């Protein structure tokens, strides 16, 4: 039996008083028990009735943030190492308890649970056991706390399902579509203004759809605001979350966009800042990271050959546009698609040297993979092509994918002429719902048999390239929005159907599709990866603040809530060694995410 | 009523019918006894003699000139005529009383405009700060014997920081109040002339006078504190003081320059606080600066903080709380809630429970971009009500550039392409940054007018984009007359910081704004529905070019001063840069009447019924910020007898 320490009680009450006096903090009832050591503290989270909350998310963030050398235009200089302010997250068990290991390092601990108001405590702690009582949210607070996907699920666009898909396809690939930022009442004109602005940034929402969508958004969001009971509750967090822990590495700042990344066999994670032409080499063991600036040719312009669509942004330093990563299984060389140039980047993780391989043609190098023959494959999203870089000959082979119509063929053939024009005076596209002129080869992967599979986002089909025969075949995709895909160990293709909110399996042997509804409503999945070793598919959530896993054999889903709101993920990497998964918060703009800074996130089995 | 149109319009029409129906209209048939019409600043009158059907016949009833033009000549260029008269009750002499920019109080016969008395406090006119006086306040002092001198009192805070109490019947100081009728206010000693001054009328309720201040808050890092003071109305005893910065070091101001409101029944006074100093650089005042840029509710009797609602955290945009909190009963879903509507420069309308400060609309925390200034830690989010919608769209992209000709439009597009611009709350940086809305607003001190119990709030809005940047230097001068509202660029050193700040309007080489018109507008907001019912351009630009056009061009103009709503279904407003006073139909926003004045009427009008005749009165003296000439006119309008 332990006896309460008067000192602990006094400090606890002082802490309660402090928290009570802050606007967004709520009652914590802390029972200070005798301090008998500083190695570990048990945090027990209950509701006001004393019932344990399982799971509650317990996120610890250091209060003392390591100083970062930002002497290069506000960012770390090339080759300089810094230390990330690493945050960790664990979940309470069935008894509502979680262990805090280090009780001495000054930190802030946020306790969050669905339907409850966040509570915060600070480390150091001098009690062995701490009880945290979370206060229930008011109905208004509760519905406001719901993630984007459940709100979005109740926008029916007047029953026009195709219009909703058009909206999701063209508006949901940068940021959440029913976050508080979007749910604010706007006039129709204000909505139209938003759409015109987004199209100037690169969205492709057809102009004839602007006004109808503006009117529907205004009407249906207002309806939900006035009748919030129509909004379903988000999926409850799984009790098994107590078995995992998260680690987060904040990188860059609110203007960065951490797009794709790579878990390299050397143990480092390479994260690309798409807007600042930088690669962050992160050591997950220590939290140290080194930044390498991607070079560009002399005379290159901001925005590259695409032109700068973000001229009004305060900061922008992307001449290349770091997009997607892959490494050579032969020597570990890293290959990166610079989406704003006709080039392929190579980075030597040993010498830290970059090489720019200029390409003769093709526009918008996009997703990239390597094969067992040490060939580098990547999609060319704008020019409807797939490129292969042979490391032996240092030559590119470009595969033209078929146009869907003569008009599309003409548009694609006109691209060199369009790109010859100055970006300032280049005619801007006038997109239609089919994305005519932009079939957009997007995701790519190499199957175990060596064939290369490609998803075309707007064309709703798959391309397969057989390197042995050098042939290209097309396969219809009976769903909408094939964005990224991956092959599993059996050669099946796993594909996300973006605006259809589905995970889809394609068996090339039987030419059959199987679809699997996602475990959260109205998610708009961006990407996925397959853990071939363990038979798991990991799916990126971007509207529901979740990462999803699907066990292929059992067809069981697991849902992992993200530690920050408005957590938009585009890539997943899996550690072959332990099955840990990595993703990054790539919400654009980043400053709309909770915390305002992009992070690299790892989910691992809890070590204790 | 057939609601065959959209439900929204139907609801609005029904609300207006209820609001304007004499038997259903809220409040008593009262005359304009307060600066804002009533203690809650609703800018509403139940008078309906002048109405939609006859307003076209409205004509000048009388004109009064204060004599300031003859007396001060060119000095008048440094004044702004912002005063709204009040009508005293019969027992207090039934005079129409107002103040001039130099704080002279004048009492007029409400029916003829003839002067009954005046009181000149003889203020210190040193310093370059423009002179203005928005109004005086009246109260009956129950501790004074009936019919005695100063039983009925007027209170006024002056430019040189004195609080005066004078008799409402003869204008002579109240000897028993302070030092022979006056009190030295906070900031009246040891500060350069004009650094701390006054603009709005004090508020009085439950025997307590509460006084704010006007402080120059962008030129120095640490300016005087914006301390609010409360005095006993009987003798001027200091009762309490409140520093909105609440201990925040290395800063100042957060003063209360906009009109306050009081709720006598609940014993509360509501303070619209401004930004902490310096406006555009917050490195030395880290954190949210919580009582600045807020509505602060204090207990009238003690000054104890009851609640505060901060609408801008860690302000870097000069988004002072600019307007009088509007007190009304929120009757949505049949349950009345004592409410408060707060208009802001950034164009939001916050509706709060005035007893608790809780928002009656969901507040969404809007993530906002970080600063690029070393050491500047911006708030990660800013509050935004989920409804009503913003009064203006805070985005302006190069494609939105406006111009009269292709050439000036191209010039504007080029400028916009080179600006830092992430929309509302983009922090100012060392590169030219879009500030939209700029410090002029959105809404400003003219506030809004609440149409009876309808929940319809009518508000005049500025719609001019500014640009600004921080400059690494410390020595810089303020060019005379340089104000963005007049199309000039203002450059001010922020002493005590590494920077000077330059602010100006975003305009083409032709001097025309780069954002599309209207550059001023009138917006009808449905507070209950959370929607915008209608909006229309406010003002004509025909006098703003190098030569005056022979016809009006209704593209809207920047505007200062407010409007008033009446049970006659009308909304009266001057405020514009075209010397007009207008009457709008509250249902449609159509202009039903207008009259050309000798100067811009940058003041809020008022209305009253006197000896059976309804008058509409407005101060027409111009505004130094507009740089369009000054005068000393007070105009009264009425229907022909």
Sign of the CA dihedral with B397 first, then B398, B403, and B408 last: positive
- How does residue B7 score in pLDDT terms, banded at 50, 70 and 90? very low
Compute the average pLDDT of residues B334-353. Answer: 96
Question: Residue A606 pLDDT > 90, yes or no?
Answer: no
The pLDDT value given to residue A105: 85
Residues B120-131 pLDDT 10s: 999 999 988 999
Identify the residue with better confidence: A182 or A20: A182
What's the gap in Å between the CA of A601 and the closest CA on chain B? 21
- How does residue B482 score in pLDDT terms, banded at 50, 70 and 90? low
| Residue B422 Cα distances to A181, A258, A311, A376, A396, angstroms | 14, 19, 10, 38, 40
State the residue for tokens 């001495």. Answer: A104
b/e sequence B137-176, b meaning 16+ C-beta within 10 Å: bbbebeebeeeebbbbbbbbbbbbbbbbbbbbbebebbeb
Q: Please judge whether A315 and B372 are an interchain contact, meaning their C-beta atoms are less than 8 angstroms apart.
A: yes
The pLDDT value given to residue B14: 45
The pLDDT value given to residue A425: 85
pLDDT-wise least confident of A112-121, A321-330, B245-254: B245-254
Q: Is residue B610 exposed (0-12), middle (13-18) or buried (19+ Cβ within 10 Å)?
A: middle
User: Which one of A71, A118, A175, A180 would you mutate to disrupt binding with B, by most B Cβ within 10 Å of its Cβ?
Assistant: A180
Q: Please judge whether B387 and A596 are an interchain contact, meaning their C-beta atoms are less than 8 angstroms apart.
A: no
Distance CA A159, CA A180 (A): 23
H/E element, B613: strand B613-620
Distance of CA B485 to the CA centre of its chain: 15
List CB contacts of B99: < 8 A, sequence separation 6 or more. B83, B105, B106, B133, B134, B135, B136, B156
Distance CA B461, CA A603 (A): 50
- How does residue B59 score in pLDDT terms, banded at 50, 70 and 90? very high
Distance CA B213, CA B226 (A): 7
Question: Residue A6 pLDDT > 60, yes or no?
Answer: no
Dihedrals phi, psi of B183, to nearest 5 degrees: -135, 135
For residue B400, which residues of chain A lie inside 8 Å, CB to CB?
Answer: 193
Question: Residue A123 pLDDT > 90, yes or no?
Answer: no
The pLDDT value given to residue B22: 36
Question: Residue A324 pLDDT > 70, yes or no?
Answer: yes
Question: Do the Cβ atoms of B252 and B245 come closer than 8 Å?
Answer: yes
CB pairs under 8 A between A and B: 98
Interface predicted TM-score (ipTM) of this complex, two decimals: 0.82
User: Chain B residue with minimal CA distance to A225?
Assistant: B386
For residue B560, which of B479, B638, B486, B466 has the smallest C-alpha distance? B486
Question: Residue A31 pLDDT > 80, yes or no?
Answer: no
Indicate which residue of B318, B408, B411, B578 is catalytic. Answer: B318
What's the gap in Å between the CA of B6 and the closest CA on chain A? 11
State the residue for tokens 């010039």. Answer: B411
A312 shares contact with chain B (CB less than 8 Å): yes
Question: Residue B49 pLDDT > 60, yes or no?
Answer: yes
The pLDDT value given to residue B487: 67
- The mean predicted confidence, pLDDT, of chain B is 92
Residues 420-449 of B with CB under 8 A from A: 420-422, 426, 429, 431, 433-434
Q: Does domain A6-67+84-137 have CATH number 1.10.10.60?
A: no
Distance CA B619, CA B440 (A): 21
Question: Residue B239 pLDDT > 80, yes or no?
Answer: yes
**Tokens representing A402?**
């078929």
The pLDDT value given to residue B6: 41
Distance CA A512, CA B380 (A): 48
Compute the average pLDDT of residues A511-539. Answer: 97
Question: Do the Cβ atoms of A527 and A481 come closer than 8 Å?
Answer: no
Q: Least CB-CB distance to A186: which of B365, B385, B389? A: B389
What's the gap in Å between the CA of B204 and the closest CA on chain A? 30
Torsion angle in degrees (nearest 10) through CA of B102, B106, B110, B114 = -110
pLDDT-wise least confident of A551-560, A578-587, B365-374, B580-589: B365-374
Distance CA A239, CA B11 (A): 48
For residue A315, which residues of chain B lie inside 8 Å, CB to CB?
Answer: 372
Give the number of other CB atoms < 10 A from CB of residue A21: 8
Q: Please judge whether B530 and A190 are an interchain contact, meaning their C-beta atoms are less than 8 angstroms apart.
A: no
Question: Residue A181 pLDDT > 90, yes or no?
Answer: no
Q: Where are the alpha helices (DSSP H) in B393-523?
A: 406-417
The pLDDT value given to residue A126: 72
**Cα radius of gyration rounded to whole Å, chain A:** 25
Domain boundaries, chain A: 6-67+84-137, 155-230
Q: Least CB-CB distance to B393: which of A140, A193, A591? A: A193
The pLDDT value given to residue A311: 83
A312: left (phi over 0), alpha (psi -120 to 50) or beta: alpha
Distance of CA A507 to the CA centre of its chain: 27
List CB contacts of A181: < 8 A, sequence separation 6 or more. A175, A592, B364, B366, B367
User: Chain B residue with minimal CA distance to A190?
Assistant: B393
The pLDDT value given to residue A4: 30
H/E element, B381: strand B381-385
User: Chain A residue with minimal CA distance to B415?
Assistant: A312
pLDDT-wise least confident of A100-109, A260-269, A442-451, B460-469: A100-109
Residues A87-101 pLDDT 10s: 999 999 999 999 988
Above pLDDT 90, what percent of chain A? 82
Residues A396-426 pLDDT 10s: 999 999 999 999 999 999 999 999 999 888 8
The pLDDT value given to residue B217: 84
* Length in residues, chain B: 641
**Cα radius of gyration rounded to whole Å, chain B:** 23
Q: Please judge whether A313 and B420 are an interchain contact, meaning their C-beta atoms are less than 8 angstroms apart.
A: yes
Question: Residue A18 pLDDT > 70, yes or no?
Answer: no
For residue B399, which residues of chain A lie inside 8 Å, CB to CB?
Answer: 196, 200
A74 shares contact with chain B (CB less than 8 Å): yes
The pLDDT value given to residue A102: 83
Q: Least CB-CB distance to B397: which of A200, A593, A595? A: A200
pLDDT-wise least confident of A160-164, A183-187, B458-462: A183-187
For residue B375, which residues of chain A lie inside 8 Å, CB to CB?
Answer: none
For residue B368, which residues of chain A lie inside 8 Å, CB to CB?
Answer: 591
Name the architecture of domain A155-230. Orthogonal Bundle (1.10)
H/E element, B69: helix B68-72
Identify the residue with better confidence: A41 or B180: B180
**Tokens representing A324?**
């997607």
Distance CA A36, CA A9 (A): 15
Q: Please judge whether B387 and A185 are an interchain contact, meaning their C-beta atoms are less than 8 angstroms apart.
A: yes
pLDDT-wise least confident of A293-302, A531-540, B10-19, B518-527: B10-19
DSSP state of A209: G
What's the gap in Å between the CA of B514 and the closest CA on chain A? 15
Distance CA A520, CA A550 (A): 12
B318 is catalytic: yes
Beta-sheet pairing, B137-140 with B261-263: unpaired
For residue A357, which of A368, B171, B514 has the smallest C-alpha distance? A368
What's the gap in Å between the CA of A593 and the closest CA on chain B? 7
Q: Please judge whether B369 and A180 are an interchain contact, meaning their C-beta atoms are less than 8 angstroms apart.
A: no
Dihedrals phi, psi of A572, to nearest 5 degrees: -135, 135
State the residue for tokens 């811009």. Answer: B600
Compute the average pLDDT of residues A487-493. Answer: 97
The pLDDT value given to residue A19: 32
- The mean predicted confidence, pLDDT, of chain A is 91
Compute the average pLDDT of residues A520-531. Answer: 97
For residue A521, which of A231, A143, A239 has the smallest C-alpha distance? A231
A565 shares contact with chain B (CB less than 8 Å): no
Question: Do the Cβ atoms of B500 and B218 come closer than 8 Å?
Answer: no
Q: Please judge whether A596 and B380 are an interchain contact, meaning their C-beta atoms are less than 8 angstroms apart.
A: yes
- How does residue B208 score in pLDDT terms, banded at 50, 70 and 90? very high
The pLDDT value given to residue A561: 98
The pLDDT value given to residue B193: 87
A253 shares contact with chain B (CB less than 8 Å): yes
Distance CA B460, CA A89 (A): 49
List CB contacts of B345: < 8 A, sequence separation 6 or more. B317, B318, B319, B320, B322, B437, B439, B440, B441, B442, B443, B444
Residues B158-177 pLDDT 10s: 999 999 999 999 999 999 99
- How does residue A125 score in pLDDT terms, banded at 50, 70 and 90? confident
Compute the average pLDDT of residues A514-523. Answer: 98
- How does residue B483 score in pLDDT terms, banded at 50, 70 and 90? low
Give the number of other CB atoms < 10 A from CB of residue A39: 10
Name the architecture of domain B7-638. 8 Propeller (2.140)
Residues A300-318 pLDDT 10s: 999 999 998 888 888 889 9
H/E element, B457: strand B456-462
Sign of the CA dihedral with B383 first, then B386, B388, and B391 last: positive
Compute the average pLDDT of residues A513-541. Answer: 97
Beta-sheet pairing, B131-132 with B79-80: parallel
- Angle at A289 (CA atoms; ends A288, A290), nearest 5 degrees: 135
Question: Residue A437 pLDDT > 90, yes or no?
Answer: yes
- How does residue B485 score in pLDDT terms, banded at 50, 70 and 90? low
Above pLDDT 70, what percent of chain B? 93
Using DSSP's 3-state secondary structure scheme, residue A425 falls into coil
- What are the helix and strand counts (H, E) for chain A? 9, 36
Omega before A114 within 30 of 0, i.e. cis? no
**Tokens representing A544?**
């529901």
List CB contacts of B14: < 8 A, sequence separation 6 or more. B1
| Residue A470 Cα distances to A228, A397, A398, B43, B243, angstroms | 56, 10, 11, 79, 78
């Amino acid at each position: 039996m332990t006896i309460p320490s008067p000192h602990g009680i006094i400090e606890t009450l002082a802490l309660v008083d402090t928290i009570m006096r802050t606007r967004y903090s709520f009652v914590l009832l802390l029972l200070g028990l005798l301090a008998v050591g500083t190695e570990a503290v048990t945090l027990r989270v209950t509701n006001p009735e004393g019932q344990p909350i399982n799971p509650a998310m317990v996120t610890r963030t250091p209060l003392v943030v390591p100083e970062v050398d930002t002497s290069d235009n506000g960012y770390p200089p090339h080759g300089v190492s810094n230390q990330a302010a690493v945050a960790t997250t664990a979940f309470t068990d069935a008894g509502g308890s979680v262990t805090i290991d280090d009780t001495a390092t000054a930190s802030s601990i946020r306790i969050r649970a669905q339907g409850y108001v966040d509570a915060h405590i600070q480390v150091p702690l001098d009690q062995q056991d701490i009880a945290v009582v979370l206060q229930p949210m008011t109905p208004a607070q509760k519905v406001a706390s719901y993630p984007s996907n459940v709100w979005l699920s109740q926008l029916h666009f007047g029953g026009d399902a195709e219009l909703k898909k058009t909206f999701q396809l063209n508006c949901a690939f940068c940021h959440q579509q029913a976050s508080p930022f979007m749910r604010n009442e706007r006039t129709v004109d204000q909505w139209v203004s938003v759409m015109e602005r987004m199209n100037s940034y690169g969205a492709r929402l057809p102009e004839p759809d602007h006004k109808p969508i503006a009117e529907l958004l205004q009407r249906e969001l207002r309806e939900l605001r006035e009748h919030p009971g129509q909004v379903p509750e988000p999926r409850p967090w799984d009790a098994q979350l107590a078995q995992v822990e998260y680690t987060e590495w904040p990188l860059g700042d609110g203007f960065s966009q951490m797009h794709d990344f790579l878990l390299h066999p050397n143990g480092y994670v390479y994260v690309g800042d798409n807007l600042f032409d930088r690669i962050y080499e992160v050591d997950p063991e220590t939290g140290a990271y080194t930044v390498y600036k991607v070079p560009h040719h002399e005379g290159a312009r901001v925005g590259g050959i695409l032109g700068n669509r973000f001229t009004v942004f305060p900061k922008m330093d992307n001449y290349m546009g770091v997009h997607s990563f892959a490494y050579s299984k032969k020597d570990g060389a890293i290959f990166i698609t610079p989406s704003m140039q006709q080039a392929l980047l190579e980075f030597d993780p040993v010498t830290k040297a970059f090489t720019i391989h200029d390409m003769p043609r093709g526009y918008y190098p996009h997703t990239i993979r390597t094969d067992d023959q040490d060939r580098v494959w990547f999609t060319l999203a704008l020019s409807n092509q797939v490129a292969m870089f042979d490391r032996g000959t240092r030559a590119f082979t470009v595969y033209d994918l078929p146009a869907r119509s003569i008009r599309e063929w003409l548009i694609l053939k006109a691209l060199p002429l369009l790109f010859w024009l100055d970006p300032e005076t280049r005619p801007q596209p006038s997109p239609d719902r089919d994305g005519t002129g932009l079939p957009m080869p997007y995701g790519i992967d190499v199957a175990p048999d060596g064939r290369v599979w490609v998803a075309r986002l707007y064309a709703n089909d798959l391309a397969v390239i057989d390197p042995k025969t050098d042939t290209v075949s097309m396969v219809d995709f009976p769903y909408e929005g094939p964005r990224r895909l991956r092959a599993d160990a059996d050669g099946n293709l796993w594909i996300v159907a973006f605006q259809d909110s589905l995970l889809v399996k394609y068996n090339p042997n039987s030419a059959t599709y199987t679809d699997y509804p996602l475990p959260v409503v109205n998610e708009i999945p961006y990407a996925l990866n397959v853990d071939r070793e363990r038979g798991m598919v990991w799916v990126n959530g971007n509207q529901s603040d979740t990462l999803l896993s699907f066990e292929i054999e059992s067809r069981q889903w697991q849902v992992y809530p993200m530690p920050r709101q408005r957590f938009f993920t585009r890539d997943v990497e899996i550690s072959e060694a332990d099955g840990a998964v990595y993703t990054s918060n790539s919400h654009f703009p980043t400053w709309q995410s909770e915390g305002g800074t992009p992070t690299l996130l790892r989910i691992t089995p809890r070590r204790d | 009523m057939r609601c065959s149109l959209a439900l929204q319009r139907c609801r609005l029409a029904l609300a207006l019918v209820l609001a304007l129906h004499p038997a259903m209209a809220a409040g008593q048939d009262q005359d304009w006894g307060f600066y804002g019409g009533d203690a809650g600043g609703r800018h509403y009158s139940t008078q309906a003699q002048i109405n939609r059907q006859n307003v076209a016949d409205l004509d000048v009833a009388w004109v009064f000139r204060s004599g300031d033009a003859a007396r001060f000549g060119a000095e008048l260029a440094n004044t702004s005529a912002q005063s709204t008269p009040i009508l005293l009750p019969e027992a207090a002499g039934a005079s129409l009383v107002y103040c001039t920019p130099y704080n002279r109080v004048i009492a007029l016969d409400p029916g003829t405009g003839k002067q009954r008395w005046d009181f000149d406090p003889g203020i210190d006119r040193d310093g370059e700060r423009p002179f203005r006086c928005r109004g005086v306040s009246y109260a009956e002092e129950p501790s004074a014997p009936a019919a005695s001198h100063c039983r009925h009192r007027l209170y006024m805070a002056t430019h040189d920081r004195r609080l005066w109490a004078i008799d409402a019947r003869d204008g002579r100081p109240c000897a028993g109040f302070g030092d022979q009728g006056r009190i030295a206010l906070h900031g009246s000693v040891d500060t350069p002339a004009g650094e701390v001054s006054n603009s709005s009328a004090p508020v009085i309720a439950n025997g307590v006078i509460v006084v704010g201040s006007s402080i120059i808050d962008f030129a120095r890092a640490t300016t005087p504190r914006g301390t609010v003071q409360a005095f006993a109305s009987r003798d001027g005893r200091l009762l309490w003081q409140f520093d909105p910065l609440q201990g925040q070091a290395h800063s100042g101001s957060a003063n209360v320059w906009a009109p306050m409101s009081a709720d006598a029944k609940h014993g509360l006074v509501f303070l619209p606080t401004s930004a902490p100093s310096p406006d555009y650089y917050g490195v030395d005042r880290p954190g949210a600066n919580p009582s600045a840029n807020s509505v602060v509710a204090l207990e009238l009797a003690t000054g104890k903080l009851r609640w505060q609602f901060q609408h801008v955290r860690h302000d870097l945009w000069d988004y002072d709380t600019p307007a009088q909190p509007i007190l009304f009963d929120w009757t949505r879903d049949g349950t009345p809630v004592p409410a408060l509507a707060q208009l802001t420069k950034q164009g939001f309308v916050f509706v709060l429970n005035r007893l608790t400060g809780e928002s009656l609309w969901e507040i969404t925390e809007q993530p906002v971009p970080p600063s690029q200034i070393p050491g500047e830690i911006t708030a990660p989010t800013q509050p935004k009500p989920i409804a009503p919608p913003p009064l203006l769209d805070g985005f302006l992209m190069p494609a939105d550039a406006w111009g009269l000709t292709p050439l000036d439009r191209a010039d504007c597009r080029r400028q916009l392409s080179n600006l830092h611009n992430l929309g509302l709350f983009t922090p100012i940086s060392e590169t030219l940054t879009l500030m939209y809305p700029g410090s002029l607003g959105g809404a400003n001190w003219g506030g809004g007018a609440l149409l009876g119990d309808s929940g319809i709030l009518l508000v005049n809005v500025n719609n001019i984009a500014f640009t600004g940047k921080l400059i690494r230097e410390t020595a810089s001068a303020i060019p005379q007359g340089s104000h963005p509202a007049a199309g000039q660029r203002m450059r001010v050193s922020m002493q005590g910081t590494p920077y000077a700040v330059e602010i100006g309007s975003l305009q083409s080489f032709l001097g025309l704004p780069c954002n599309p018109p209207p550059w001023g507008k009138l917006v009808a907001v449905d507070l209950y529905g959370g929607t915008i019912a209608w909006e229309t351009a406010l003002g004509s630009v025909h006098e703003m070019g190098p030569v005056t056009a022979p016809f009006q061009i209704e593209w809207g103009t920047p505007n200062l001063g407010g409007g008033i709503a009446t049970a006659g279904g009308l909304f009266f407003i001057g405020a514009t840069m075209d010397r007009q006073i207008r009457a709008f139909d509250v249902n449609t926003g159509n202009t039903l009447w207008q009259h050309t004045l000798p100067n811009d009427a940058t003041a809020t009008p008022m209305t009253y019924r006197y000896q059976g005749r309804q008058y509409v009165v407005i101060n027409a003296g111009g505004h130094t910020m507009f740089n369009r000439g000054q005068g000393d006119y007070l105009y009264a309008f009425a229907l022909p007898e």
